[in-house]
Amino acid sequence: MEYLYTDSNGNTTKFTEDMVKAALDEREQLRNQLKAANELGIARYQKTSDIRGNVYEFFNERYDSSSDDITCTVDDVNELLEYIGADKLKRLFTVSGRIEFTVTDIEADSEEEARDMVESNLTVEYDGNMVDDYNVEINDVDQQ
């Protein structure tokens, strides 16, 4: 079966039954996508409104109209950041330690050359970044 469609300009188009079914299915899918996008937009708007309210409340609680300063602790800020779903502020730490190592199968003419090769080429990384300050102390060199 064929269907004829005439638009407002008088142009006529023929559609098969399969073409009409496909168009109706596509229209239903688009309606569902539009509904989902609308629901997501409403949810995000509500979340944004909640965040605005929480940020205002946070600073308003610490506001004194007789001062130009607002005082809060890092823990206070982190509590707010966590509540609104943002990353918390991190503190910096220095960790010192000791690494013992063994490098085997070094081809060298002498123990001294093997020692120099390790001292010159040994690197220390943490999470893909070079460690800023380290000391290489070689305790022993043995021939295999």
Q: Is residue 141 a contact partner of residue 108, using CB atoms and an 8 Å limit?
A: no
Residue 132 confidence (pLDDT) above 80:
no
Specify the pLDDT at position 68: 92
From residue 120, alpha-carbon distances to 26, 114, 115, 123, 142 in Å are 66, 10, 9, 9, 18
Structural domain spans, the chain: 2-83, 93-144
pLDDT category of residue 42 using cuts at 50, 70 and 90? very high
Question: Residue 47 above 80 pLDDT?
Answer: yes
**Stretch (H or E) spanning 54:** helix 17-61
Q: Under a CB-based contact definition with an 8 Å cutoff, are residues 114 and 141 in contact?
A: yes
Averaged confidence pLDDT in the chain: 90
What's the pLDDT tens digit per position in 51-107? Answer: 999 999 999 999 998 999 998 999 999 999 999 989 999 988 888 788 888 888 999
pTM here is: 0.49
